Structures are given as C-alpha cells and as structure tokens.
Structure 1
Amino acid sequence: MRGNRVILTVVFSLGFFVFARQEIIAKQKNSDIENIGNRNVNARQINFMSLEKEIALGRQLAQEVERTSKLLRDQEISEYVNRLGQNIVRNSDAKVPFVIKVLESDEINAMALPGGFFYVNSGLILAANEEAELAGVMAHEIAHVAARHGTEQYSKGQLFNIASIPLIFLGGPIGYGIRQAAGFLIPLQFLQFSRGAEREADFLGLQYLYKTGYDPTAYISFFEKVQAQDKKKPGLLAKAFSTHPPTEDRITKSQKEIQELLAERQEYVLNTSEFDHIKARLTAYENAKKPAVDDLKSQRPVLKRKTSGEVDDSDESTDSPVDQDRPKLTRKQANWKRN
C-alpha cells in the first residue's frame, strides 16, 4: 500500500515537472510577435482531441448556451462585435473559425468555448470606456481558444484519471465537474482554467491585441478599473470574470511582459467613433426594455388634498347620485403636541 503511494507521488511529481517545463519552453518559443499565425502554440502540450472533435464539442456546448440564454437581437451591434473579434482572430494563432455572438447579460464577462464559439456579454460592452478595453478582453478569450486550453485541460484530467467527464458529443450524460453558470450547464474544464492557462492567455492575448494595432495597456487598465469599482461596490469582481479573476499577480506579470516584449509604437488604436456609436445604441436598446419612468408615474393614482377653507365649486352641481351616496371619511384632529 505504501509502495503504491510512493509510485503515485512520483508520477504526479514527474507530471508537474513536465508540465512546468513545457510551459517555460512554449513561452520562449511563443515570444516571436512577428511570427503570429505561423506558430504552433500547442506544441509539446498534451491534447487527445482532434480539431474536428473540438469543434463538434464546442458546437454542442454553444447549443446549450443559446438554449438557456438570450441573444442580443440587434444586427448592427452584433455585426460590430463580430467584426471586431474577427479582426483579432486574423492576428492570432487560432486554427479554427470563430462564431461570435452577443448575449443579453448585465455581467461584465465574455466566454470562448472550444472550437471557436465565442459569446460577449452586453454588460462587458457597456463597462468598457474605449474600444481597446473591449478588444483586450476579447483577445484574452481568443487566446484560450488558440491555445486549446479547454480540451488540453480535459486531456490532462484524462491522463491522470482526475475529474474526467463523458463528452456531450459522444452522447453520454454530463458527468463530473459541471457548474451552473448564468443559467446554463457547461463542464467546468471548459470555463475555469488553471493559473498557468490564464497566464498563457494573458501572454498571448496581449500579443494579439498589439498585433491588431491596439494599445496593450488598455487590457490592464480595464481590469484595474473593475477592481477599483469592486472596492466601491463589493461583489462586482466576484461576478465579473468569475471564472478567471484578474489577480494582482496576473496584472503585474502582464505589465512586465508589455515592457519586455512589445516594442513601443508611435501610435495605437484606443478608441473609435464606431465604438461610441455602438455603445450609445446598446444603452438605448437596454433602456427601451425598461418601462419609462414617466409612463409609470402617469399610471400611479394621484391623491389631492384640499387646503383649509377651500371650496370645490363642482361639489354643488356636478356630483353624481353615486358620489352623493358614498360614505365620507372624516379624520379626527390629533390632540397631541410635538415635543
């Protein structure tokens, strides 16, 4: 029994060493910004799933998302977000086509499923002050797909027989590691990644943002802004990016990588007039769903009080028989004094 424990410990130790070593090698190789799109960011990574099966899995997961969520029904906004995302995809290492849609959700978040099925919450668009901030979050999610983190994490679980789940596209029931997120069921492996995967997505996402022409510091400033808002309104950060919280360590590492790897440019894209237009349109779209305040006020009953000695001329001649027969409520004057 003791011998089995020793063997198991050795296996896990070797596995940890191998994965850590692979991460270091991959990071060194993936620092070549000019070679984005021609690099294999998945080299030396364990992944038992082909790209075809990964796309099939992502399609099944996407159906579950759309079955239980509400897609934004505004063509102009949806086309803008799709165009913005596809531009980043073209400047990434992704090997699969992307399907990008907008969900009606107040949560400040985005979600990229295996195989390139990508959902952006309307709350994220409204929370961004500039197009570069929105692009930064999208670049991070695109990096998760490019690095195939979902199926890679699943494969590692299979290798060690830990948290393995029957795959949906194989017809089996969803087994271990399922979480309820925003009203839909998605296997945990495909939404919540390891610290190493999050760091790699930060690392690659910053490169994709930079290659597309945006200021990479916008990615960091957006997370810092969310953290500042969380101090004023506790709980905001718990909802925003709940599956991948922007920790201080991640922010510090990202700042260092920008300084060391991304040569400063004379000009960056920070914002566009189209983003401002889309954000205003989305705000109007959200407001249109809520009852107008004036309409609510007009529907409320209004109580009028007569002032002392005031006579209503209409009482003498216009009261209907029904009004005359109605009981009248008289209030006894309170016999107390305010101390």
Structure 2
Amino acid sequence: SPMDKAGSFDIQGKGAFFIKRIDGCFYNVVGLPLRKLYHIFKKLGLFSIICFVLVLCGCSTEYNLATKQEEKYYYNTDKEVIMGQSINRQVEKELKFTNDPLQKKRVEDIGKKIALVSDRKEIDYHFQVLEEDTVNAVSLPGGYVYVNTGLLDKVDNDDELACILAHEIGHIVARHSIKKLQAMQSFSILRLLVAVAPAPGTGEVGTAADVAFTQFLLGYSREDELLADQLGARYAKLAGYDPHAMITFLIKLQDINRRMPLQEKSYFKTHPYVPDRIRVVKQELGEPISFDDYINIEQQPHKQ
C-alpha cells in the first residue's frame, strides 16, 4: 500500500523489513536485514539480543495532544523530521511533481492555514502536488503532505481540499506513521527472539503472532483513520473552512468508488472504512446519525 501504510517485504531475498512509501519506494525501518541479524545473534546468543533490545528501545515519553495521552516514542521530533526528509528525497527521485504553479500555491496556502491551527506546530509542514491520475492524498512523518492531481480534479471547492489536507495533518499530529514504524520494529525483534531462542511450540507461536500482528495493524489503521477524520474536521473549522465538506467529499468518492474499478493507489485503497468515517465526522460536528450510518453497509467495490 502507498505511503502511510506499513508492511513487511522480502526484497531480493534479503529478508528485511521495509515501509513501502508510494509504489516502488521502500524505506528500511530496522537498519539491518533480519536474516543478517539472525545469523549475528545466533552466534552471539540471547544475552546479545537483550542488549540490542535495550539499546533500540531507549525512548522518550511525550504528551500527544491528538490522543490526550503520554506516549513513548523511539523517534523524537528531531529524528522524525530527519526520517521524513530522507523519505521525501526518495519521493522526489521516484515521482513527478506538478508544473502548475497555481495548483501548488493553492495546496500550500490552504495547507499552511490548517497547520497553523493544528496541535503540532513545532514542525515545518511541506505540501506538494504529485502528477498522478489516481484520486489520493498521503502524508509522511515530519510534516510532508502530498496531493495527487487526480484528487484535485475531484474537489469542488477549497473547503473540500482543506478537509483532505487537515485529515493528512491529523495523521502527522497523532504520529501514526511513527507508531507503525515502532510496531514493525517491535515485531521484528519478537520474531528474532523466537527464531534465535526457540522453545517447544514456538513455531506455532510465531505463526499465531504473524496473524495477530496483521490483525493488529488492520485495526490500528482503522482507528488512525477515524482519529485523523476527527482532527481534520476540527482543524478545518478552526482555520475557517466548512468541516461538513469532509462528509460531502467522502460521500462523493464513495459513489465514484462504486461506479469505477478500484485502482491500486486510489483513495479507497489507502483510506478504507468510509462509512465508519462518515459517521465519526458527523459525531464530531454534532450532526444527527442516520440508521444507515449505524448499520454501516457499504457496497463492495468492483474488481479490475
């Protein structure tokens, strides 16, 4: 999945864990291939793994204004910004940016207004327009937001665009990408411990852990989307835009999705749970919830 989705990939047999950021662009979140780490720790023993984990898990505790909780991070803000800069350089190499200065200025102007009222003002936000036909918008750690030209063609007004940008800023404020990176790292260490220090039944445990972790990531993504929508509606309103435009945009794209084949990098591929999201935004705005909102029925998209 593009950008804001975490996943593990075995690239050219190296057995490393990566984040896939936009199609074809990967970022190594462990630093060393797991297969190489496995052989190293197999020789050095369990004590070396414990030392490695203690070093890796040195983290800071910060108050997250989005979740209203104290949370632990392997990556502080400075490290997050550096990571975002690194991934952004890869994006610049792999993808084409728009040559339309008016499109770029529109996105930047609206994005900056949203960023000023967000709960995370200690980072600089960067807004770019990608020359992509698919209807999508994505974000990176450290303040990077990308909007496809295909999405700009579908928005009817600045209010809808503001809500989309506010949603992506919500992901950054809540540090969703960072949390996924940490989840992937923690899981890679768990798998390494099971592999190097096996015990009776650990094969089954490892398989179960794979399944459980996959389910965890799926559920976590759903919660991410709902929180980003809540924050997005709030930030759009604070910046002077109509937050109800988020609902109209989601309904419009849901209708498009029902009538057209689902593209690999489409908005609905990377931003699922649309009925749930419409309901949550309505709740955030104090709107009445309909029966359809509660039963959460969505027609399945067409397959290519």
Q: Contact 1:84–1:135 at 8 Å: present in 2 too? A: yes
TM-score normalised by the chain length of structure 2: 0.60
Kindly state the Cα deviation for residue 199 of structure 1 after the two structures are TM-superposed.
Answer: 1.4
In the alignment, which residue of structure 2 is the partner of 1:211? 238
Letter in 1 for 2:248: S
Instruction: Tell me: CA distance 1:103–1:240, structure 2 relative to 1, closer, same or farther (3 Å).
Output: same
- Note the alpha carbon deviations across 1:288-327, whole angstroms, 9 max, x for none: xxxxxxxxxxxxxxxxxxxxxxxxxxxxxxxxxxxxxxxx
Alpha-carbon distance in 2 for matches of 1:51, 1:127: 34
> Matches of 1:157 and 1:217 in 2, distance apart?
35
SS in 1 for 2:98: coil
SS in 2 for 1:119: strand
Q: Which residue is 2:171 aligned to?
A: 144
* Deviation of the 1:206 alpha carbon: 0.9
What per-residue deviation string (whole Å, max 9, x for no partner) do you get for residues 71-111 of structure 1?
Answer: 11122321221111000000111231111111101111111
Gaps of 5+ in 1: 1-25, 31-38, 165-189, 261-339
Say if 1:162 and 1:138 are closer, same or farther in 2 by CA, change over 3 A: farther
| Residue 259 of structure 2 is aligned to residue 248 of structure 1 | no
What is the Cα deviation at residue 237 of structure 1?
9.3
Identity of aligned residues (%): 35
Residue 194 (structure 1) aligned with residue 221 (structure 2): yes
Distance of 2:71 and 2:220 partners within structure 1? 15
Residue in structure 1 matching 2:249, options 219, 222, 225? 222
CA RMSD of the aligned region, Å? 2.9
**Corresponding residue of 1:73:** 99
1:100 maps to what in 2? 127
Deviations 1:22-51 (A, max 9, x none): xxxx9xxx9xxxxxxxx4646322321111
8 Å CA contact 2:257, 2:268 repeated in 1: no
Name the CA shift for 1:238/1:119 in 2 (closer, same or farther; >3 Å). closer
Aligned twin of 1:291: none
Q: What does 1:254-265 align with in structure 2 at a 5 Å threshold? A: 254-259=281-286
Conserved 8 A contact 1:229-1:236: no
Deviations 1:175-222 (A, max 9, x none): xxxxxxxxxxxxxxx9x9621111111111111011111111110110
Partner of 1:90: 116
Which residue identity is paired with 2:260? K
Q: State the one-letter code of the partner of 1:120.
A: V
Runs of 4+ displaced beyond 6 Å: none
Change (3 A) 1:82 1:251: same
The superposition leaves residues 133-188 of structure 1 with CA deviations (integer Å, 9 ceiling, x where unpaired) of: 11111100000011111112222343454799xxxxxxxxxxxxxxxxxxxxxxxx
Q: Output aligned runs, 1:7-26, within 5 Å.
A: none
1:153 alignment partner in structure 2: 180
Contact 1:223 1:246 in 2 (8 A): no
Alpha-carbon distance in structure 2 between the residues aligned to 1:91 and 1:201: 15
- What's the counterpart of residue 298 of structure 2? none
Counterpart of 1:326 in structure 2 is: none
Q: Residue 246 of structure 1: CA displacement?
A: 4.3
Partners of 1:206 and 1:142 in 2: CA distance? 11
Q: Which residue of 1 aligns with 2:89?
A: 63
Alpha-carbon distance in structure 2 between the residues aligned to 1:224 and 1:65 = 30
Alignment check: 8 A CA contact 1:58 1:117 kept:
yes
Q: Aligned pair count?
A: 200
1:117 alignment partner, one of 129, 141, 144: 144
* Whole-angstrom CA distance in 2 between matches of 1:40 and 1:234: 35
Determine if contact 2:96/2:131 at 8 Å carries over to the other structure.
yes
- Please, which runs of 5 or more residues in structure 2 have no aligned partner? 1-62, 192-216, 288-304
Specify whether residues 145 and 197 from structure 1 end up closer, same or farther in structure 2 by C-alpha distance, changes over 3 A only. same
1:112/1:142 contact within 8 Å kept: yes
